[in-house]
Structure 1
Amino acid sequence: MNNDLQDYLHALVVEQGLAKNTIFSYRQELTEFFDFLKTQKITEFNKIDRYTILNYLKYCDEQQKSRNSIIHAVTSLRQFFHYLLMQNKITADPMLKIDTPKSAHHLPQVLSSKEIEAILRVPDTNKPLGIRDRTLLEVMYATGLRVSETVNLKLDDLRLEMGLISTIGKGDKQRIMPIGDVAIHWLTVYLSGARKQLLRGQDCPFVFLNNHGKQLTRQGIWKNLKAIVKKAGITKNVTPHTLRHSFATTLLENGADLRTVQELLGHSDISTTQIYTHVTKKHLTEVYNKYHPRA
């Protein structure tokens, strides 16, 4: 079964040309499904039926996975079993009568300017890793980069003298965006001192490094951010994507038009960007209710 999984992932790269992060997501979701099959003592694909899938989705729900995570899992399973059917690995597709759950509509979590400042003050900038963390947070908040774009940012992508950086986003689309003076300042400090210390004489093309002089991982950013947020005394569920949400919301609240924010975020469809207009309206309502005497 694991060999079939590897063949499937290889086919996604060769035949569909999917991005590395998409492949990683499929692998992770299908591996979790395979782990579940082990608990059910299922070792053959043909022994998987509709009820196996329903039990797995129930298990995901019991693990308190988000609605959107479960939707992604269903999509991954649907495509995988279709592949197995086309390869004659199974005689019937167990996903045929499985409905995809409806997407959960909720507003993204955002941070206030005070909360952003509290987070930025946490890293100890007297230490190389503290300078790296401060720089990373400044860059993510100043540009709205996705966490995958941040870890894959290379030295060649920086045009600090022009106040620009470039990145490869979803669908391997390149976009060039401005970066503010504060983030440029911290990048300059980091690149001229702390990064060289982290390199330890090695060579690495990526901007953000771990303590061993290697490319910082997505998991590394998540782990560090959780610790920083806790130390800042913030109780919100903050993820790296929260900084991206906060970036977009800050721009709209200060008068940026939706098309500009769409370009900066790298959204192919403006409807994806429009959710932030609801966030800003919610913020305006909260401010009105708090400060207007007739509210």
Structure 2
Amino acid sequence: MDSWKSYIKNYQNYLKIERSLSANTITNYSFDLQRLCEFLSEKGISETPLSISDETVKQFIYEVSKQVNARSQARMISGLKSFFNYLLFEDYRKTNPMDLLEAPRLGRKLPDTLSIEDIDRLIGAIKNENDDTNDYKLSVRNKSMLETLYGCGLRVSELVTLRLSDLFFDEGFIRVTGKGNKQRFVPIGPHTQKYIEIFLTERNKLSIPKGHEDTLYLNRRGKGLTRAMVFTIIKNLAVEINLQKSISPHTFRHSFATHLLENGADLRSIQLMLGHESITTTEIYVHLDRKHLTQVMRNFHPRR
């Protein structure tokens, strides 16, 4: 399997340097390849990345399809196609063994959203929690984080990497580093800005280790938060208010986009704020509220 390790390592460097993909995306792509390597080892198949046949790949996908859902299967097929396309691009192979494989058809999954009342209840459930060692109010940090997730429509990875130097309050914007390290400026309203400013007074109480001075949201030890920690905070709040929905940080982002659309914002503006590369991705929000679409028809169609 040494040849696989070598080509996978080169592929990871390609994804990082030439395609500027995030560490999370590279990890996901690598996991799929590792799974393929384990399959080959279990079956005693000695094919290399340069010699593996479409029949072997089909057999692998068939085995995997028994264990994962259609969405995971489609993602895996996409990841493997990307790897073999890289080998084609570098002239290591002449054909892609994935070419004749089609991903399963997926229905477009509409994202869960929260009502404005639900968001208020979640934020209202944050308890006044202090860290005894330095009186750092975690409640103030958590309220600021949720207000920023909802107020600016951020991904959780964008939230935890937000820096003090990304805050341009005088201009009414924050600078966000999204997928592929692409930066965009997102408007920030006075309400969200107020909660960040309140939090900054708490942040000043922390002893911040070197390397974290510019990170906005910190844990009680003065280091950056993890994505998992933000997930846990939100899950616990949902339990606290007995919210009968499975939610995550991304639910706040979906709610941001849906509420903007319902209140008359145009798709192009929402696309820019969310940092979607294609407006097709943003169009999913059009399907969320039929009542809103009916109202648009009544208000704007010439034969209403």
User: Does TM-score exceed 0.5, indicating one fold?
Assistant: yes
Query: How far apart are residue 137 of structure 1 and its match?
Result: 0.8
Residues 1:76 and 2:90 aligned together:
no
Deviations for 1:158-201, whole angstroms, at most 9, x for unmatched residues? 122443212133454432222222322221121111x2345445
Whether the 8 Å CA contact 2:215–2:224 is kept in 1: the answer is yes
**Counterpart of 2:282?**
273
Match of 1:289 in 2: none
Q: Deviations over 1:84-113 (max 9, x none)?
A: 466677797432331122243122111112
Pair 1:107-2:110 in alignment: yes
* In structure 1, C-alpha distance between the alignment counterparts of 2:32 and 2:105, rounded to whole Å: 19
- Matched letter for residue 225 of structure 1: I
Q: Secondary structure at the match of 2:235?
A: helix
Matched, 1:146 2:155: yes
> Within 2, Cα distance between the matches of 1:121 and 1:130?
10
Q: Give the drift of 1:247.
A: 0.3
Distance 1:85 1:270 in 2: 30
Give the secondary structure class of the aligned counterpart of 1:175. strand
TM-score by length of 1: 0.80
Bigger shift: residues 202-211 or 106-115:
202-211
Counterpart CA distance in 2 for 1:162 and 1:35 is: 53
* Superimposed CA distance per residue, residues 250-280 of structure 1 (whole angstroms, 9 cap, x where no aligned partner): 1111222223222222233333222212212
Deviation per CA, 1:226-254: give whole Å up to 9, x if none.
23323331232212221111001111112
Partner of 1:219: 228
Of 174, 181, 189, which aligns to 1:165? 174
**Which structure 1 residue ranges, 5 or more long, are not aligned?**
286-295
Name the SS for the 2:204 alignment partner: helix
State the partner residue of 1:126. Answer: 129
C-alpha distance 215-2 of structure 1, shift in aligned 2 (>3 A)? farther
Task: Look up the equivalent residue of 1:116 and give its one-letter code.
Answer: I
User: Could you tell me which amino acid in structure 2 is paired with residue 137 of structure 1?
Assistant: L
Give the counterpart of 1:186 among 190, 195, 210: 195
Distance 1:103 1:114, change over 3 A: same
Alpha-carbon spacing, 1:215–1:58, altered in 2? closer, same or farther (3 Å): farther
Q: Compared with structure 1, are the counterparts of its residues 267 and 90 closer, same or farther at alpha carbon in structure 2 (3 Å cutoff)?
A: closer
- 1:282: how far off? 5.5
Aligned residue type for 1:119 = L
Distance in 1 between the 2:206 and 2:27 partners? 27
Q: Percent identity?
A: 36
Q: Deviations over 1:100-156 (max 9, x none)?
A: 222431221111122212221232233333322221111010010122221221110
Mean alpha-carbon deviation: is it higher for 201-210 or for 179-188?
A: 201-210
Q: What corresponds to 1:293 in structure 2?
A: none
Code of the residue aligned with 2:264 in structure 1: it is G
Q: Calculate the aligned-residue CA RMSD, in Å.
A: 3.1
SS in 1 for 2:250: helix
Q: Aligned ranges for residues 1-295 of structure 1 at < 5 Å?
A: 1-34=4-37, 40=43, 44-45=47-48, 49-50=53-54, 52-54=56-58, 56-58=60-62, 60-65=64-69, 67=71, 69-84=72-87, 93-127=96-130, 128-193=137-202, 195-200=203-208, 202-204=210-212, 205-281=214-290
Q: Sort the Cα spacing of 1:182 and 1:16 in 2 relative to 1 into closer, same or farther, 3 A.
A: closer
Return closer, same or farther for 1:86/1:233 CA change in 2, 3 Å cut-off: same
- 2: CA distance, partners of 1:260 / 1:86: 36
How far apart, in 2, do the equivalents of 1:31 and 1:265 lie?
A: 32
Distance 1:8 1:178, change over 3 A: same
The structure richer in helix per residue is 1
Q: Higher mean Cα deviation, 242-251 or 29-38?
A: 29-38
Q: Is the 8 A contact 1:124 1:131 kept in 2?
A: no
Partner Cα separation in structure 2 for residue 197 and residue 65 of structure 1: 47
